[in-house]
């Protein structure tokens, strides 16, 4: 079965009202507690919805991770058009990032963990790349009993998987009626 690709409107990161309601940008980014010189990792940055705002909040590098080369090219084009020069695209998997150990201050994983084979591998890799004292925010779909997609992950299961990797929970919140966000810390 071919992999689902995002349509061009979504890939270009159109800031439509449906997306703003689903993923309230300012609120979600506030959960990261970004400092002006943090190195940031944006995983699941399919349309660059969070990437550009993240890059505006730090003077350091924002690594944007996607599997598709076309997605990364689109984000690079947007960063060029918006005169943003601190975005570095990575065509990587969340379970095998081409980043050094303890190199990231803040990380956002948006709507991506329900796609991985095992949460353990993903959280272990995030733990590896985050600096001691680093912060991780995970956003994913709230499972619905009537939803036929079995890959939706309950927030409690997500929290337990993160804690098994060594993270500590700061907060679980519901930014909209369809998604939850979990803010986690790597111990110092």
User: Residue ranges per domain, the chain?
Assistant: 16-185
What are the Cα distances from residue 168, in Å, to 129, 163, 165, 179, 183?
A: 16, 6, 9, 20, 9
pLDDT at 114 over 50: yes
Report the 10 Å Cβ neighbour count for 140. Answer: 23
Specify the 3-state DSSP secondary structure of 54: helix
What pLDDT shows up at residue 15? 52
CA–CA dist 46, 44 (Å, integer): 5
Average pLDDT over residues 147-176: 90
What's the chain's average pLDDT? 88
Average pLDDT over residues 17-40: 90
pLDDT at 147 over 90: no
CB 86 within 8 A of CB 59: yes
pLDDT at 119 over 70: yes
Q: CATH classification of 16-185, choosing from 3.40.50.150, 3.10.310.10, 3.40.1160.10, 3.90.550.10?
A: 3.40.50.150
53-73 residue pLDDT tens: 999 999 999 999 988 888 899
Q: What percent of the chain has pLDDT over 90?
A: 65
């Amino acid at each position: 079965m071919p992999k689902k690709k995002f349509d061009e409107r979504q890939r270009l990161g159109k800031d439509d009202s449906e997306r703003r309601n689903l993923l309230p940008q300012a609120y979600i980014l506030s959960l990261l507690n970004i400092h002006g010189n943090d190195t940031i990792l944006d995983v699941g940055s399919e349309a660059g919805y969070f990437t550009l705002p993240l890059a505006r909040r730090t003077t350091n590098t924002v690594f944007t991770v996607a599997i598709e080369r076309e997605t990364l090219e689109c984000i690079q084009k947007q960063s060029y058009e918006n005169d943003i020069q601190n975005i570095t695209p990575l065509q990587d998997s969340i379970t095998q990032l081409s980043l050094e150990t303890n190199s990231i201050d803040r990380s956002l994983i948006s709507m991506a963990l329900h796609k991985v084979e095992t949460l353990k591998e993903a959280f272990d890799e995030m733990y590896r790349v985050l600096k001691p004292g680093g912060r991780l925010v995970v956003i994913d779909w709230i499972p619905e009993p009537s939803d036929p997609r079995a890959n939706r992950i309950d927030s409690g299961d997500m929290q337990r998987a993160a804690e098994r990797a060594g993270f500590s929970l700061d907060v679980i919140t519901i930014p909209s009626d369809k998604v939850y966000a979990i803010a986690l810390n790597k111990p110092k």
